[in-house]
Structure 1
Amino acid sequence: MIDQSRLRVATVGVNRETVKRLCDNVSLSGAAIFVDEIRELERINEFLVRTLPNIVVVGITCQVSEFDAHIVARSLRNARSEASVICVVSEPLIDKVPEIYKAGIHNIVLESDISMEFSRAITSIAAGGHYISRRIFGLIREPDIRSFYAALNTGPVAPKDTGAGPLSEREEIVLKLFAFGFSTKEIASQLRVSTKTVETYKARASDKLDLRSRVSIVKYGCQSGWFSVLIN
């Protein structure tokens, strides 16, 4: 979790127009301060020492770039920085989103969405979550179940019918993953239990919450803030 009172944003490989929209969004929201963009011929490590960012925004605007999110993430680790990386993807390269996500970058915003979504993105990330633009979330056909599991595993919730008792940790995580669209087989593999056990957890949780369909589970998840962990 980042101390939002001194949240600093810096950019790498982001075009000038997008930087301006980013700065306008940050200025209006008051969510952070824009520090600087990387300078010509400046090395990543020098840039990180100079700007001391909490959030590094990396532009993905062409097929071959001097910088990419993975290079920046590796540089942050080498510098022992706890800064987070956000990928800003241009419209022509939207099909690269699944590849970026699969490689371990879980904060992704479409370039044209910066004006509307950037402040929400950094607020979510500062709170310890992840952010993916609504318009591109659907492109990730096979998201890493482990990232969902880690993000969603937040402890038991109280059911609508308090007489039934709270959900157990396993009941809740099964219901959450089911709401996100994971199959019984995928959930069983992640939890290292049988598919029958997963079905049992789901049935118990559904009974406690009086949820009789996937739609009702998803609606309950929306009301409970489950989906705000990764998208807002």
Structure 2
Amino acid sequence: MTKSDNLSFDSDAAPERARILLADPQPILVDGTRALLEDQAGLEVVDVALSEAALHRAMRLHRPDLLIIEQRLGQSRCFDLIQSLRRDHPELKTVLFTAEIDARTAIDAVRSHVDGVVLKTMPSELFLACIKKVIAGGRWIEMQSFADAVEQIIEQQDVSESLAELLSPREIEMVSWVAKGLRNKEIARQAHVSEGTVKTHLHNIYEKLGLKSRMELLRFAQRQGLDA
């Protein structure tokens, strides 16, 4: 494959040439990921980190636009590591590369504010679409796996406890109002905010719960008894 410009960016937030740091403890796999990314115009892999120490050095040296980090880097500390890096580098965008999205991963991904979650079983076209969207300022989560993980969380815990792990108190209020059939204008009146703010909250809720629409949110909320 020749180097192509098929990875176009559609946001002012996207840099002219995105600088990417790969962090993955598996050299063979990371070489394949690097080759895939470097075959795309507009992308530059500035370094590869095979350990946590190498990651910190590379961050200081290159200050990349995007970090793609494999979940096993840093072992159980991966999400703490992501949060620490984002505190030190507020403009950094992060994509988590993982074998599966279980309940714990779903919660930790939400809490760490990762910009994208990519499954290793994803076709390369979807992987590149994720990178494109995140660099352009969006978020990407493999919705079905994430939604399944959220359902697993709900089943294992009390509804209020599990939602409190995933959503802010204001977002939980929004879910409750949607479950009761309130429209955005009515929710805005209840919350003393603008309709635009309500839409922003709902968009964030969809992403955190792995949902695609208001109807899916309504069904989810009703299944959890939040319409009472």
Structure 2 CA distance for aligned equivalents of residues 69 and 37 of structure 1: 19
Structure 2 CA distance for aligned equivalents of residues 101 and 76 of structure 1: 13
Query: What is aligned with 2:108?
Result: 100
Superposed, which structure 2 residues align to 1:34-49 within 5 Å? 34-38=45-49, 42=53, 44-49=55-60
Query: What is aligned with 1:73?
Result: 83
SS, match of residue 117 in structure 2:
strand
Q: Which has the larger radius of gyration?
A: 1
Is 1:183 equivalent to 2:182 in the alignment?
no
What displacement does 1:59 show?
A: 0.8
Structure 2 CA distance for aligned equivalents of residues 68 and 180 of structure 1: 34
Query: What is aligned with 1:120?
Result: 129
Would the aligned equivalents of 2:19 and 2:43 in 1 still touch at CA under 8 Å? yes
SS, match of residue 131 in structure 2:
helix
Unmatched tracts of structure 2, length 5 or more? 1-11, 152-162, 175-194, 207-212, 222-226
Query: What is aligned with 1:214?
Result: none
What displacement does 1:110 show?
A: 0.8
Q: In the comparison of the two structures, how many residue pairs are matched?
A: 167
What displacement does 1:84 show?
A: 0.9
Query: What is aligned with 2:118?
Result: 109
Q: Which amino acid aligns with 1:90?
A: A
CA-based RMSD: 3.9
Query: What is aligned with 1:15?
Result: 26
Q: Which amino acid aligns with 2:109?
A: Y
SS, match of residue 112 in structure 2:
coil
Would the aligned equivalents of 2:18 and 2:44 in 1 still touch at CA under 8 Å? yes
What displacement does 1:17 show?
A: 3.3
SS, match of residue 4 in structure 1:
coil
What displacement does 1:181 show?
A: 2.2
Change (3 A) 1:70 1:171: closer
Change (3 A) 1:17 1:185: closer
Is 1:133 equivalent to 2:168 in the alignment?
no
Would the aligned equivalents of 2:25 and 2:49 in 1 still touch at CA under 8 Å? no
Change (3 A) 1:122 1:185: closer
Q: Which amino acid aligns with 2:96?
A: C
Structure 2 CA distance for aligned equivalents of residues 183 and 131 of structure 1: 22
What displacement does 1:34 show?
A: 1.1
Report percent identity of matched pairs.
13
Query: What is aligned with 1:4?
Result: 15
- Give the counterpart of 2:61 among 50, 57, 72: 50
SS, match of residue 87 in structure 1:
strand
Query: What is aligned with 1:205?
Result: none
TM-score (norm: length of structure 2): 0.56
Unmatched tracts of structure 1, length 5 or more? 150-167, 187-194, 196-232
Is 1:90 equivalent to 2:99 in the alignment?
yes
Structure 2 CA distance for aligned equivalents of residues 45 and 133 of structure 1: 28
